[in-house]
């Protein structure tokens, strides 16, 4: 294959000639041209820069030509001057800047202060607006209330006017009615007077007959005894016996009742009523602060107000007559004092002050010794000759009632703290104390001073034997309930019976010997009508224990027959309100009852 | 003879590494229109023989356009890429010839001395006055690529009735052209080796793709089989030339041409790729390994000058 070799050799030769010889040269040549072109570019740029610089140069030269007149030194000097001036300007400007910053600081501070003030003002303003809003709201509500109230007022006013008209009309009617009542009353009094006169005449006739009988008998007796000195006594005892007999006879035979109205006993409630031991005087005391004395004329059964004892500053709670001489009257009142008047001269003799609270009860121990018990938990003994408090007994509890044991000043008192205290006359201590189950409301002692009846709040009455100071009997009943702290229970004068009023309107009578309930006076009228109304209701037995009497709250006085327990009489239609107290005439002929509405009525049998 | 262990690959590699130093000089009239103070220097490039001028025309124009910065926007001026044409010794160079072929054809014939003194090959660049009568305008790359592909298909049609080129995918065609542009020997011969295979149970190509160039004459292309079946021998280069020249003379005589071609091979120098291969080289081998990248044998016949 030498042709191949030939070809190959030729190729190699060719390549050598054509390529190898020129390759390097062409490469380097190309590089050179590239460099040359870049250099050209740079050169052109630089030429451009040179041109611009030359231009600037020429410009500067032109500028400097104008200044070129001055020599160089002067130029320097001017430059220096300019420089100094510039420096000075700079300094001044800096100083000014310092001042300005100071001003800025101060102003900013001011601004801050103002802002704070403004802020506080705004806060205050907010608060005030809030208050304003709230006040406005209140105002609105107040106005609403006011308008409502005005409306109400108007309606009330209208109603008032209407009522006023009605009232005037009623007043007129009342006046008319009063007039008619007065007229009727006058007629009635006339008729009653006529009747009384008639009765009086009958009685007088009867008395005359009785006198003639007595005279006959006396003459017979006279013929027996032949004494003339007794005649006077006889007459007086006769008078009393006559009274008694008359009373008995009157009471048994004469069923009719006469009454006397003790009008104008006081302004309001009557709390105490008491007979004079002689039986001719009645004393009443009430919330009008006066004690009225009424004289009972036994012969013609007239009652007149004799006089009025004043001096109390408050309601009279209890009255007592002295038993010995019968010319002193004792009244104790809620003005913390007791007063003694003389009956003959109606003069206030003594005022016994010293208690710290209402005086509930007072009793004559002797004619010169008075015992009083009050709400201030003390008992005081007063000596009337010295006019001072002799002794003060500290009881420790309100004294509701007391009785005088003997003339030396020993007392028995019943208290709120369930105790009955026996006081010794010589010293201030309690001789004895009896404990009961409940508060003691009242004490009642019999004439022989042996038995004590205590009424207590546990709805029982206790009979205490005073020699041994112990409870011998207890009276109770299922229906008997004690209404208040001052309910009074009474022993009958012969101590056969004990009587008290209960709060359901019945009067209970117990037998003291066997302790059993003797009678409960609640049949017929009493259950519905008889009501023990308040704490000063008193129930009393008649001195001969034939009758029990109590006042009810509807103004009626109820009299029960103790033997059969039935209502004997109901004395009503005279009192218009609650009957507070009832008292029997010692001889038993009359009943006095006082009511809450200033009226006392004397009833005769 | 020395047992040459020369591989065919060596030869193809040598062929591939061919370079020609070319010097591009701006024409005088265009030089006068230069817009810069400096006149452009000549451009020297080492170009491969099997490349085409349109591949580097962009480069040439870019180089010279810097000197015409201001003039390019002027519409009246004819300086633009479309007007660029190359000339060698007043011959406008055809675009579609490989550079090696042009060089061999024009430099060898025009000078009596050896081709060595012609290097670097000086080509004049014209930027105006495009010779419309003599040249076709297709300066851009895509047109020369199309021309290359056409030539390749024609070669394969001659060799294998176009079977192989038809079976190849488009990317293989692209790879051929791109490796030609980027001077990638391995990539090119990976595909090209397929085109050098045989079909139809033949040990040779059906016909040899070749063109014979004689100056001032259009190229000659005949159907020529590399193997004589009757005589049972491989055809050589001499046979091919002889056949072609004789056939051409006959065609001229029939056409009553005045000037008849000299069909004496002795009067010619046979140049392929710038070398004169021995005339007894087998034409089959030459076609396989000595073709241009477009698979054609471009043979230049240079008349021997009367020494």
What pLDDT, on a 0 to 100 scale, did the predictor assign at position A88? 95
Place of tokens 């071609």: B261
Cβ–Cβ under 8 Å, residues A364 and A328 = yes
Residue among B18, B120, B281 minimizing CB distance to A3: B281
What pLDDT, on a 0 to 100 scale, did the predictor assign at position A384? 82
> ∠ CA(A532), CA(A537), CA(A539), 5° rounding?
95
- A603: β partners: A259, A591
User: Contact B6/A1, CB-based, under 8 Å?
Assistant: yes
pLDDT over threshold 80, residue A561: no
* Range with lowest mean pLDDT among A86-100, A379-393, B104-118: B104-118
What pLDDT, on a 0 to 100 scale, did the predictor assign at position B85? 86
Go through the domains of chain B in sequence order and give each one's CATH number: 20-135 (3.10.20.620), 140-203 (1.10.246.190), 207-307 (3.10.20.90)
- Answer whether 0.90 is exceeded by the pTM: no
Tens-digit pLDDT profile for residues B1-60 = 344 566 888 889 988 988 888 999 888 887 777 777 777 888 888 999 989 888 888 888
Residues of chain A contacting B, Cβ within 8 Å: 1-8, 10-15, 17-19, 21-23, 25-27, 29-30, 33, 36-37, 40
CA dist B205 to B25, B199, B272, B287, B299, Å? 43, 8, 20, 9, 18
Tens-digit pLDDT profile for residues A16-29 = 888 888 888 888 88
User: Contact B281/A12, CB-based, under 8 Å?
Assistant: no
Residue among B18, B38, B44 minimizing CB distance to A19: B18
Residue B205 exposure: Cα atoms within 13 Å on the Cβ side = 31
The Cα B104–Cα B100 span in angstroms is 6
Residue A552: band (very low, low, confident or very high) from pLDDT cuts 50, 70, 90: low
The Cα A517–Cα A302 span in angstroms is 38
Residue among A11, A25, A37 minimizing CB distance to B11: A11
Residue B77: band (very low, low, confident or very high) from pLDDT cuts 50, 70, 90: low
Q: Where are the domains of chain A?
A: 1-44, 258-604
Give the residue, A180 or A227, on which the prediction is more confident: A180
Q: Domain A258-604 belongs to what topology?
A: Methylamine Dehydrogenase; Chain H (2.130.10)
Interface test with A, best of B238, B278, B289, B299 (most A CBs within 10 A): B278
The Cα A527–Cα A570 span in angstroms is 13
The Cα A22–Cα A383 span in angstroms is 176
What pLDDT, on a 0 to 100 scale, did the predictor assign at position A509? 73
Which residues neighbour A89 within 8 Å (Cβ) at sequence distance 6 or greater? none
Highest mean pLDDT of the ranges A462-471, B38-47, B212-221, B287-296? B287-296
Using CA coordinates, name the residue in chain B closest to A7.
B277
User: Contact A15/B18, CB-based, under 8 Å?
Assistant: yes
Residue among B41, B43, B277 minimizing CB distance to A7: B277
Tens-digit pLDDT profile for residues A483-528 = 655 566 766 666 667 767 666 656 677 777 776 776 666 544 343 4
Tens-digit pLDDT profile for residues A438-454 = 777 777 776 666 777 77
User: Contact A22/B276, CB-based, under 8 Å?
Assistant: no
pLDDT average, residue stretch A302-330: 76
Residues of A in Cβ contact (< 8 Å) with B281 = 3-4, 7
User: Contact A15/B44, CB-based, under 8 Å?
Assistant: no
Tens-digit pLDDT profile for residues A223-268 = 776 655 444 444 444 433 334 344 444 333 333 344 555 544 445 6
Tell me, yes or no, if B20 comes closer than 8 A to chain A by beta carbon. Answer: yes
Using CA coordinates, name the residue in chain B closest to A26.
B44
For A174-204, letters b (16+ CB in 10 Å) and e give: eeeeeeeeeeeeeeeeeeeeeebeebbeebe
Q: What percent of chain A has pLDDT over 70?
A: 69
List all residues of chain B from 97 to 126 with a beta carbon under 8 Å from chain A.
Answer: 116, 119-120
Burial (CB count <10 Å: 0-12, 13-18, 19+), residue A538: buried
Cβ–Cβ under 8 Å, residues A462 and A469 = no
What pLDDT, on a 0 to 100 scale, did the predictor assign at position A359? 85
Tell me, yes or no, if B190 comes closer than 8 A to chain A by beta carbon. Answer: no
The Cα B145–Cα A308 span in angstroms is 166
User: Contact B15/A33, CB-based, under 8 Å?
Assistant: no
Highest mean pLDDT of the ranges A135-139, A519-523, B284-288? A135-139
Tell me, yes or no, if B11 comes closer than 8 A to chain A by beta carbon. Answer: yes
């Amino acid at each position: 294959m030498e042709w191949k070799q030939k070809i190959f050799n030729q190729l190699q030769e060719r390549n050598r000639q054509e390529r190898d010889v020129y390759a390097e040269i062409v490469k380097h040549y190309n590089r050179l041209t590239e460099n040359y072109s870049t250099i050209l570019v740079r050169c052109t740029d630089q030429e451009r820069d040179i041109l611009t610089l030359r231009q600037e140069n020429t410009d500067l030269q032109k500028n400097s030509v104008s200044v070129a007149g001055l020599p160089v030194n002067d130029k320097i000097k001017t430059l220096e001057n300019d420089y100094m001036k510039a420096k000075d300007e700079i300094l001044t400007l800096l100083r000014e800047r310092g001042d300005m910053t100071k001003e800025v600081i101060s102003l900013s501070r001011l601004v801050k202060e103002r802002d704070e003030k403004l802020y506080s003002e705004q806060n205050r303003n907010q608060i005030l607006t809030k208050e304003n809003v709230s006040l406005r709201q209140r105002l609105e509500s107040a106005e609403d209330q006011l308008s409502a109230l005005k409306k109400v007022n108007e309606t009330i006013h209208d109603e008032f006017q209407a009522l006023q008209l009605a009232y005037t009309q009623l007043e007129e009617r009342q006046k008319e009615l009063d007039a008619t009542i007065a007229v009727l009353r006058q007629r009635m009094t006339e008729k009653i007077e006529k009747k009384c006169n008639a009765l009086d005449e009958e009685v007088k006739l009867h008395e005359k007959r009785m006198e003639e009988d007595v005279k006959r008998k006396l003459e017979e007796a006279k013929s027996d005894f032949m004494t003339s000195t007794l005649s006077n006594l006889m007459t007086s005892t006769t008078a009393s016996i006559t009274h008694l007999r008359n009373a008995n006879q009157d009471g048994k035979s004469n069923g009719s009742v006469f009454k006397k109205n003790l009008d104008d006993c006081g302004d309001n409630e009557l709390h105490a009523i008491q007979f004079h031991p002689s039986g001719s005087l009645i004393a009443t005391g009430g919330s009008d602060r006066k004690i009225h004395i009424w004289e009972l004329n036994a012969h013609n059964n007239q009652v007149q107000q004799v006089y009025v004892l004043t001096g109390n500053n408050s309601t009279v709670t209890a009255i007592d007559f002295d038993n010995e001489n019968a010319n002193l009257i004792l009244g104790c009142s809620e003005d913390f004092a007791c007063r003694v008047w003389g009956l003959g001269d109606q003069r206030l003799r003594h005022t016994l002050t010293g208690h710290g609270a209402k005086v509930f009860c007072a009793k004559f121990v002797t004619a010169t010794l008075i015992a009083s018990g009050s709400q201030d938990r003390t008992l005081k003994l007063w000596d009337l000759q010295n006019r001072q408090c002799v002794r003060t007994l500290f009881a420790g509890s309100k004294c509701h009632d007391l009785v005088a044991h003997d003339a030396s000043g020993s007392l028995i008192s019943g208290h709120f703290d369930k105790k009955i205290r026996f006081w010794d006359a010589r010293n201030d201590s309690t001789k004895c104390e009896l404990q009961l189950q409940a508060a003691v409301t009242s004490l009642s002692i019999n004439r022989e001073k042996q038995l004590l009846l205590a009424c207590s709040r546990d709805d029982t009455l206790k009979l205490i034997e005073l020699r041994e100071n112990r409870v011998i009997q207890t009276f109770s009943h299922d229906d008997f309930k004690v209404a208040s702290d001052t309910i009074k229970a009474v022993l009958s004068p012969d101590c056969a019976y004990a009587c008290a009023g209960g709060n359901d309107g019945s009067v209970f009578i117990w037998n003291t010997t066997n302790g059993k309930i003797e009678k409960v006076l609640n049949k017929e009228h009493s259950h519905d009508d008889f009501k023990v109304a308040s704490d000063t209701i008193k129930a009393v037995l008649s001195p001969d224990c034939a009758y029990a009497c109590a006042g009810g709250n509807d103004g009626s006085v109820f009299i029960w027959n103790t033997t059969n327990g039935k209502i004997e009489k109901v004395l009503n239609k005279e009192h218009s309100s609650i009957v507070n107290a009832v008292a029997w005439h010692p001889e038993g002929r009359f009943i006095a009852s006082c009511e809450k509405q200033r009226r006392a009525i004397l009833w005769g049998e | 003879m020395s047992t040459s262990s020369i591989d065919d690959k060596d030869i193809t590699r040598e062929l591939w590494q061919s370079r020609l130093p070319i010097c591009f000089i701006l024409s005088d009239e265009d030089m006068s229109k230069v817009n810069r103070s400096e006149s452009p220097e000549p451009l020297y490039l080492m170009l491969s023989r099997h490349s085409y001028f349109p591949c580097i025309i962009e480069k040439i124009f870019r180089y010279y356009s810097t000197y015409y910065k201001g003039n390019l926007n002027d519409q009246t001026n004819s300086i633009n890429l479309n007007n660029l044409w190359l000339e060698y010794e007043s011959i406008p160079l055809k675009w579609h010839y490989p550079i090696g072929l042009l060089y061999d054809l024009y430099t060898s014939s025009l000078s009596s001395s050896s081709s060595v003194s012609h290097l670097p090959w000086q080509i004049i660049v014209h930027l105006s006055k495009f010779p419309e009568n003599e040249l076709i305008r297709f300066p851009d790359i895509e047109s020369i690529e199309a021309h290359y592909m056409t030539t390749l298909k024609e070669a394969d049609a001659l060799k294998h009735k176009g079977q192989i080129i038809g079976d190849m995918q488009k990317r293989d065609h692209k790879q051929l052209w791109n490796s030609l542009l980027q001077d990638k020997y391995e990539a090119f011969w990976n595909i090209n080796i397929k085109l050098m295979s045989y079909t139809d149970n033949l040990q040779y190509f059906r016909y040899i793709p070749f063109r014979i160039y004689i100056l001032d004459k259009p190229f000659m292309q005949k159907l020529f089989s590399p193997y004589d079946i009757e005589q049972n021998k491989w055809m050589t280069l001499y046979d091919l030339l002889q056949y072609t020249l004789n056939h051409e003379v006959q065609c001229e005589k029939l056409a009553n041409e005045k000037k008849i071609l000299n069909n004496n091979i002795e009067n010619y120098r046979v140049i392929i790729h710038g070398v004169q291969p021995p005339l007894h080289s087998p034409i089959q081998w030459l076609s396989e390994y000595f073709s241009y990248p477009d698979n054609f044998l471009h043979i230049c016949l240079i008349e021997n000058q009367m020494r």
